[in-house]
Structure 1
Amino acid sequence: MFSHLFATMNELLDELIKRNPNGVLQGQDEEQFAVLKAMSDKIMDEWLSFEEKIALFKDKMQDSDAEKTNNITMPLTAVLTDKPPVPAALQAELEQLLSKGQGYFKLYMFPEAADAFNEVMQRSPDCNLARLFLAMTYMHMQEWYEAQRHFQLIVALADHPKWQALGLNALGCIQAIRQNLDQAEIYFQKAYDADPSFEETLSNLHACKTRDGQLSLYFGSAKLSCL
């Protein structure tokens, strides 16, 4: 399941080494290396934690089939959609594609991430997590129409306050980019109402209200500038 992710990480690291044989990184190369290192550290931490849990669980295992059934984890796709769980084979493919897309997204390889998330959406249109990542990917690619289309669906369908706030904040940014600042302000206010802890919204709302010179807005790791 993770072989494609490690293959991509190794390929990117090899390219970084070729471009920077002296080990001095700058700009995007330095940022990409930091992402790779963070991913590596996270994987190691999660793996060690997983191994520890397995060891503890082995000590408590019983032969009862009922006991084993109680410890089965809910399928990922069952959490992502209100529809009945998909067949196991398709579920495994969807999880692999989601993992692949998220790996590309974290490495700022947005076209590749979009391909993976689009494939998930084609096979499972009700997978809101794939739609959310696809919408965020389009934002980073500055494909505003597609980003708006998916975020509108997220806002309409998602129940999670943070997803609502993220979607409304993104829609506000898109309106600001199109110079519709009054509409952008409305979206940012709605995003704040949905989840007051979503910090980007307050910053963007303040920027819209002041409108002093160049308008700088925030969406995730991206900073969007509007004249």
Structure 2
Amino acid sequence: MFQHVFAEMNHMLEEIVKHYPTAQETQKQILIQRWNMLKAMSDGIIEEWLSFEDKMSSFREHTVLPPMFPLGDTPEMGMESFVRGQGYFKLLMYRQSIQQFSQIVYDYPDSLLARMYIAMAHLHLEETSEALEHFQWILPLAEHKKLKAMIYNALGCIQAKLADTGKAQEYFTLSLQNDPTLPDPLINLQVCNQNRGQLQYGSQLISLI
């Protein structure tokens, strides 16, 4: 639900970056005021969201919620870095999310969930090599079909971005075989077949917990 807000904020920022170098002094002051407004909005959204995530985490710690699938012993989910990393991911602030989850991987190198967030964040940043490295590390260790489906779908998106449509379709098919209820690979198959549209990935990541 935040996409339209961030789209507008990004548009305003792009306009500032575009016009500031050649603007007259008066216009520069106006652009600076707009930048300050965007900065205040960004800081406010982040603080409110992190506060919200803290409350969500507190509720989760004291409530037995049925997970989408068993993740086993995941003490890293109680870390502040996890809460912040997930919050940044939801806010589409992928670089900051990677920084937070990288701290978790340092302490818990076998954390599949932290690595999934890192991989998806890299993919959203169009850093396909980094994303591929993490997905290939996770895949042999993934036991649950929903997790495998998400990884295969992401691998398909990487191949589609590399213009290997045939390989992409193979991965999307594997994704559907592991979890026919996952909507992303079906959409992505249509994108490949019609050669238009936007690839979908990571939409179910939050549901893993």
- TM-score relative to the length of structure 1: 0.58
* Pair 46,144 (structure 1): closer, same or farther in 2 beyond 3 Å: closer
The match for 1:194 among 170, 178, 183 is 178
The structure with the greater share of residues assigned to helix is 2
Give the aligned partner of residue 127 of structure 1: 111
Kept in 1, the 8 Å contact 2:50–2:87? The answer is no
**Deviation, structure 1 residue 207:** 2.1
**Deviation, structure 1 residue 122:** 2.1
User: In 2, Cα distance between the equivalents of 1:175 and 1:114?
Assistant: 22
**Deviation, structure 1 residue 137:** 1.0
The match for 2:81 among 74, 94, 97 is 97
Q: Percent identity?
A: 31
Output the amino acid matched with 2:200. Answer: Y
Kept in 1, the 8 Å contact 2:149–2:178? The answer is yes
Unaligned ranges ≥5, structure 2: 1-33, 64-70, 204-209
Matched, 1:112 2:130: no
Give the aligned partner of residue 129 of structure 2: 145
User: In 2, Cα distance between the equivalents of 1:128 and 1:49?
Assistant: 19
Provide runs of 4+ in structure 1 moved above 4 Å: 35-51, 91-94
The match for 2:73 among 69, 75, 79 is 79
Aligned residue for 2:198, secondary structure, equals strand
* Pair 202,45 (structure 1): closer, same or farther in 2 beyond 3 Å: same
* Pair 38,150 (structure 1): closer, same or farther in 2 beyond 3 Å: same
Matched, 1:19 2:37: yes
Matched, 1:173 2:157: yes
Kept in 2, the 8 Å contact 1:154–1:163? The answer is no
User: In 2, Cα distance between the equivalents of 1:119 and 1:111?
Assistant: 13
Kept in 2, the 8 Å contact 1:100–1:113? The answer is yes
**Deviation, structure 1 residue 176:** 0.4
When Rg is computed on C-alpha atoms for both structures, the one with the higher figure is 1
Give the aligned partner of residue 220 of structure 1: 202
User: In 1, Cα distance between the equivalents of 2:107 and 2:55?
Assistant: 31
The match for 1:154 among 119, 128, 138 is 138
User: In 1, Cα distance between the equivalents of 2:134 and 2:57?
Assistant: 31
Q: Which has the higher contact order (CA 8 A, sep 6+)?
A: 2
Give the aligned partner of residue 87 of structure 1: none
Kept in 1, the 8 Å contact 2:94–2:125? The answer is yes
* More displaced 10-residue stretch of structure 1: 167-176 or 96-105: 96-105
Count of residue pairs brought into register by the alignment: 162
Kept in 2, the 8 Å contact 1:94–1:120? The answer is no
Aligned residue for 2:200, secondary structure, equals strand
Unaligned ranges ≥5, structure 1: 1-15, 54-76, 81-90, 222-227
- TM-score relative to the length of structure 2: 0.63
Aligned residue for 2:199, secondary structure, equals strand
User: In 2, Cα distance between the equivalents of 1:167 and 1:151?
Assistant: 6
Taking only aligned residues, the RMSD between alpha carbons, in angstroms, comes to: 3.6
Deviations 1:136-176 (A, max 9, x none): 11111111001111112222211122211111111000100
